[in-house]
Structure formats: structure tokens, C-alpha cells
Amino acid sequence: MHLRGLLTTVSLSLGLSSAVVIPQSTQFVQTDSFFNVTKRQGSPIPYGLIITHCNVPNTVALTFDDGPFIYTGQILDTLSKHGARATFFLNGVNKGNIDSSHELVQRTLAEGHQLGSHTWGHLSLDTLSYNEIISQMTDLEDAFMRILGIFPTYMRAPYLMVTADVLNAMTALEYHVIGASIDTKDYENDHPDDSWRSFEKFRAELDAGGTIVLAHDSHQTTVEILVDNMLVEIALRGHETVTVGECLADPPEYWYRTSR
């Protein structure tokens, strides 16, 4: 079954639109309990190296860390209004809990957005041993498997803290490590009167050539003000808001897998 078929199945089960913008190149094989991505080697994007910029001209990748949370659905609504796609780096346990957010995670994938790992517990990876880093990733992989039957090949380290051990672990697990070239610092401006500071930082770093944007779906002001403003600004500049995978020209069949 194609990726479109899986997303349609998820969409219909939630009463959502089945429109999906991801190409139909990913193959799925139905098993007794979930759909398996046919694992294929050869992603053009390197594993275990920090990536901060898009490869595809005139694209910008909005990314949201720390979900799923109570505001995530509102961001999905705003993205839908603008016809935009984004990437969500999820935790297992943070402000929300992935195991109590199955429908929200399924909806995010079904609406054409990309899911990535932000580790299980949002711990600063530079404080952990190599084996603990591995566990932070594999525990979340298990949660994704419970919810979707697939898990991502993209990750972002909490606090952007990356060490040699982190990169070695991500290489071993075959993860693309995503940083940011635009950091909105929205967590410092989580009040309606201060949101303009994050927006001006976004504009300045966009002017400087930034293309991968770091924000959070756990902050109300980001959801209610900043996201819409960023989407309008991107469109005014003639750019397209896409997933990280798309902005790197990485074929969708490499975004997820079903086995380690």
C-alpha cells in the first residue's frame, strides 16, 4: 500500500480530509497489526551530521518542538488555512504525553506534515551516557510504533545540545540531525505584547539566509500570533513553506522506517 493509502486510512478513522501532499513513492506492506514501510537504503541526506539549511531554493521549513500538546491542533488548523506543511519534533513525555495523544499524532501525519523525534523525555543529551542517549531515542521509537506502525528518521536534540556521543549515536541509529538557521526564541516572548520580538528575529534571520525555523507548539502566543505572521511573511517573499524532508529534497520513503 502506498503512503497515501496509509494516511487516508488514518484520516478516515478520525473523520479528516484524506488530501495528502506527499508523493506516492513510499511502499507499505500490510501485516496483521500495522503497515510496514519497505526499508530502502540510500537517502541522499547524511546521517549523524547537523543540518541547519534547506537544499531546495525558495523553500522554508517551519519546525515545532516539544509537542504533542494542547495547542498543536490549532497550529494544524493554521497551517491548513495557508496550505502549508511543517515538521513536528515530538517528545514522549514533556508538557504533554504522546501516549495520550494518539489521535493528534495521527492527524498530524494524515494532514501531510512530517514527524520527527525530539527524544523521549526532553533531557539535555550532553548530560547522558551513550547508552542513555540510545534509550531516549528507542523509547520514543516504540511509542511511534504503537501509534503509527512507523517511526521517523529525523531528529532534533533538546536545547540543540549535540556532542560527539550524540552524533555517534544518531549515526548508529541512522537519524538525520536537524538544527536550525532561524531560532525564533519564542519561549522568551510568550506574551502577546512580546510576540513581535520573535517575529522580528525570524525576519532578520530570514534576511540573512536562514531557512529552517525553530519554534514550539507548546507556547500559546506562538500558536495564536507568531505562526500566522510567519506564514504570511514567507508567502510575501515568494517562498513555499514545506517539511524539512521536502526542503532537503529527501524522498519521502526515507522519512520513516519500521525496524532498527
Please identify which of the residues 118, 216, 219, 250 carries the catalytic annotation.
216
How many CB atoms neighbour CB 179 within 10 A?
A: 17
Q: Which of 52, 73, 93, 82 has the alpha carbon at shortest distance from 210?
A: 52
Rounded to a whole number, what is the distance in angstroms from the first to the last CA of the chain? 21
Smallest CA-to-CA distance from 260 within 157, 125, 169 is with 169
Integer Cα distance of 160 and 239 in angstroms: 26
Can you tell me the distance from the alpha carbon of 30 to that of 198, in angstroms, rounded to the nearest whole number? 44
Please report which residue ranges of the chain form alpha helices under DSSP H: 3-14, 72-82, 102-110, 130-148, 164-173, 195-207, 220-221, 227-236, 244-247
Active site residue 216: yes
For 29, the enclosing helix (H) or strand (E) is strand 28-30
Q: Is 176 a catalytic site residue?
A: no
Catalytic residues: 65, 216
